[in-house]
Amino acid sequence: MITQKMKYALKALLALADEAARPDPQALTIEQIAKRSGTPKRFLEHILLEVRNAGVIASIRGRSGGYSLIKRPSDISISELLRTIDGPIAPLPCLSRRAYQRCEDCTDEATCRIRKVFAEVFWSYLLIIDSLTLEDMLRSGAVADQVLGAAE
């Protein structure tokens, strides 16, 4: 399950990606991002700082300053963003790629039935989540808009 913080990060990035797709894109202020994404402004500053430190967006100072994407949406990995915002995504610490820890109560990882079952589920999840990008999310929104528009 993703956190509310991650949802806010995704909404903010989608707002920035929508702006980047315009003919004359501009940097967006925190206020503009909050309004366009429907996220509370008070949380965005900290979230955008983390995303900026991950090299996904840039902050621009000055009168026409704000935030803008510095990576193409197709190069923004959802799984990397999840790890940046929420930390390890593995269901057990012994399955984590980057934050591996042996479970304190485990006597033998090789025969641990809990680890085996969750490893199968997790690897299937990883195949999907590792392939997703912000571009996929932008496209899924456009498809949903077309379907909803056609239904009206």
User: Each residue of 56-101: pLDDT tens digit?
Assistant: 999 988 877 899 999 999 999 999 999 999 999 888 888 888 888 8
Residue 130: closest CA among 90, 99, 100, 103: 90
**Cα-trace Rg, the chain:** 19
> Looking at the chain, which residues constitute the CATH 1.10.10.10 domain(s)?
4-73
Cβ proximity of 12 and 48 under 8 Å: yes
Q: What is the CATH number of domain 4-73?
A: 1.10.10.10
The pLDDT-based confidence of 141 (bands split at 50, 70, 90) is: low
pLDDT per position as a tens digit, 96-121: 888 888 888 888 888 899 899 999 99
Instruction: Please tell me the pTM assigned to this model.
Output: 0.82
Q: Under 8 Å CB-to-CB from 90, ≥6 apart: which residues?
A: 96, 97, 99, 122
Length of the chain in terms of residues written: 152
